[in-house]
Amino acid sequence: MKDIRIAAVVCRSPVNQVFKTLRRMAVWVDKARDEGVDILCFPEMNVTGYSIQKEIRKVAEVIPGPITETLMELAAGKDMVLLAGMAENGKKGRIYSSHVVVRRDGEVGVYRKIHIAPPEEGFFSRGNRIPLFEAHGVNFGIQLCYDAHFPELSTAMAVKGADVVFFPHASPRGTSKDKYRSWMRHLPARAFDNGVYVVACNPVGGNGEGLDYPGLALAIGPDGCVMAKRLGKREGLLVVDLKKSALDAVRSHRMRYFLPHRRTTLFRISGALKSHKA
């Protein structure tokens, strides 16, 4: 890994206001450029807005398509990688909560949400790949909101070589302090157990369909300690420098880097659990 400056965006993500949202994203891109940011991460489904109503099919788009073309235009001429969320129109009528990785050279990568929360079932299909991406000498993975509650996914990304895992959310309700307390129950463990940086962000304000987001952006070091956070009901950027030296300090420590000591032959777990219903 090389030293890198990242930024996580706390912004409004209304449903079905794609063109307006893309214009506002251009403002955040310019602000991040002025800050010398290398990778800029937006919340889950920020472009189309997050929705679990049937109208989501009206704003879902194919990849590549008009949304990614506009994102490529935003990235062009800037030595910056954009991570942006959208509803993706897939094959056979499938809809995915997807996050795209857009580079200035026009290359587009896609992560499709793997773990679908119970309220999302019937609206979104599950992704079936665990891709890693590379930019500016850094390997990174992406997980979306509910994905964060499954520790095996972060471990799989770390084993593949991830230095950073981004966690874009679309998590409503409560205050940013409430959400911070919630995230602190599991996100530090994703960083500490796997020796990776964790960067998470959430929208702020109403989405136009009855959901209200409290905002919040957070960066956690590979030692599991919070590096920086942004709370409150205002839009903004969380800008953080991720250092190779901090990653090396953890991964060279024989007691604090756990990943190489996993006994993988014991963890071939199969079977399924049924949901408990009262």
How far is C-alpha 220 from the chain's CA centre?
Answer: 14
Is a pLDDT exceeding 70 seen at residue 277? no
Mean pLDDT of the chain: 93
Following CA atoms 184, 187, 192, 193 in sequence, which dihedral angle do they give, to the nearest 10 degrees?
120
pLDDT band of 271, cuts 50, 70, 90:
low
Per 3-state DSSP, the chain is made up of helix, strand and coil in percentages (nearest 5) of 30, 25, 45
C-alpha closest to that of 60 among 96, 24, 19: 96
Task: Check residue 272 and give its pLDDT.
Answer: 55
C-alpha closest to that of 238 among 14, 27, 42, 2: 42
CATH of 4-266 given 1.20.120.50, 3.60.110.10, 1.10.760.10, 3.40.50.1000: 3.60.110.10
Task: State the pTM of this model.
Answer: 0.94
Is a pLDDT exceeding 90 seen at residue 256? no
pLDDT band of 276, cuts 50, 70, 90:
very low
Contacts of 264 (CB under 8 A, 6+ apart): none
Residue extents of the structural domains in the chain: 4-266
- How large is the average pLDDT for residues 230-259? 95
- pLDDT single digits (tens) 20-69: 999 999 999 999 999 999 999 999 999 999 999 888 898 999 999 999 99
Contacts of 173 (CB under 8 A, 6+ apart): 211, 212, 214
Task: Check residue 274 and give its pLDDT.
Answer: 54
Q: Per-residue DSSP letters for 108-155?
A: EEEEE--S--GGGTTT-PPP-----EEETTEEEEE--GGGGG-HHHHH
Task: Check residue 133 and give its pLDDT.
Answer: 97
Is a pLDDT exceeding 60 seen at residue 258? yes
- How large is the average pLDDT for residues 102-109? 89
Pair 124, 97: CB distance under 8 Å: yes
- pLDDT single digits (tens) 80-91: 999 999 999 999
